[in-house]
């Protein structure tokens, strides 16, 4: 039985009721806020395990709330809710640091499945934190991390680039590691979705592009002149270490 606390931020009472009832039935604790400012206050006072965030709020919209959350360094998992026909909002939400998105109207079972998937990835990352800290200390003292190129520790799900540890979210690590396992190969977006996200998740191909942009930015922050992830127009991507 789940015991995690979910903060639901939405100003539509009917939708909030559906979400609350389904999550409570699945064993989650549920908190609710109907405004962006109220959500910020709730985040400051409590420590939810996951945020379900409607992007269209009457005061402080979901985009700005998410931006503030990530700029403050908060890594709380976030699932955004978007209108069914507004793919742009979903992509922008991912670019601002959301972990996943669900389009309205949604199937409550799908939402719960996404909540569980995001929380599972979060738990795996936290469980590895102490191992990673120990590994970093060992590698730092032994000099085993190469000064150039990529270095991966699959057990700890961590990657280094040019001797520096990359701060990667779980899906970013999975994507980079899969690309690195297939150097020189052109991998389509559909292939990356299937092998990195899995067919059980309702994700479209734009999600791959968003995660690639995040990876490229993080790699460029370390080595601006390096471009290890190449675009194959209209097809997908190729990894050239």
Q: Domain ranges in the chain?
A: 5-126, 128-239
DSSP string, 9-69: E-S-HHHHHHHHHHHHHTT-EEEEESSHHHHHHHHHH---SEEEEES--SSS-HHHHHHHH
> Which letter, b or e, does each residue of 136-171 get, where b requires 16 or more Cβ atoms within 10 Å of its Cβ?
beebeeeeebeeeebbbbeebbbbbbbeebbebbbb
Q: Domain 128-239 maps to which CATH number in 1.10.10.10, 3.40.50.720, 3.20.20.60, 3.30.40.230?
A: 1.10.10.10
| 5-126 belongs to CATH 3.40.50.2300 | yes
CB 127 within 8 A of CB 101: no
**Which pLDDT band, with edges at 50, 70 and 90, does 90 fall under?**
confident
Q: What's the pLDDT tens digit per position in 131-169?
A: 555 555 555 544 455 556 898 888 788 899 998 899 998
Q: What's the pLDDT tens digit per position in 180-235?
A: 999 999 999 989 988 888 755 566 788 899 999 999 999 999 999 889 999 998 89
Cβ-proximal residues to 42 (8 Å cutoff; 6+ apart), any chain: 7, 31, 33, 48
Cα-flanking dihedrals φ and ψ of residue 226, to 5°?
Answer: -90, 140
d(CA 235, CA 217): 21
Cα-flanking dihedrals φ and ψ of residue 161, to 5°?
Answer: -135, 125
d(CA 129, CA 45): 25
d(CA 70, CA 10): 19
Give one word for 198, left, alpha or beta, with left for phi > 0 and alpha for psi -120 to 50.
left
pTM of the model: 0.63
What is the reported pLDDT for 141? 47
Cα-flanking dihedrals φ and ψ of residue 151, to 5°?
Answer: -140, 130
């Amino acid at each position: 039985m789940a015991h995690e606390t979910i903060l639901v931020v939405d100003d539509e009472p009917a939708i909030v009721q559906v979400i609350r009832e389904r999550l409570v039935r699945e064993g989650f604790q549920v908190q609710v806020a109907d405004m962006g400012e109220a959500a910020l206050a709730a985040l400051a006072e409590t420590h939810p395990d996951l945020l379900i965030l409607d992007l269209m709020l009457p005061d402080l919209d979901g985009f700005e709330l998410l931006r503030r959350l990530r700029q403050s360094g908060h890594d709380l998992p976030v699932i955004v809710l978007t209108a069914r026909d507004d793919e742009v909002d979903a992509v922008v939400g991912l670019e601002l640091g959301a972990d996943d998105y669900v389009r309205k109207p949604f199937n409550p079972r799908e939402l719960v499945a996404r909540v569980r998937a995001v929380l599972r990835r979060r738990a795996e990352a936290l469980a590895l934190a102490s191992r990673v800290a120990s590994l970093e200390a060992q590698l730092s003292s032994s000099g085993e991390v190469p000064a150039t190129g990529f270095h991966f520790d699959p057990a700890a799900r961590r990657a280094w680039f040019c001797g520096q540890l990359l701060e990667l979210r779980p899906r970013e690590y999975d994507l980079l590691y899969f690309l690195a396992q297939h150097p020189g190969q052109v991998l389509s977006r559909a292939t990356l979705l299937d092998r990195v996200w899995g067919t059980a998740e309702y994700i479209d191909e734009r999600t791959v592009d968003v995660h690639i942009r995040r990876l490229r930015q993080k790699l460029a922050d370390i080595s601006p002149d390096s471009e290890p992830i190449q675009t194959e127009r209209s097809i997908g991507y190729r990894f050239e270490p």
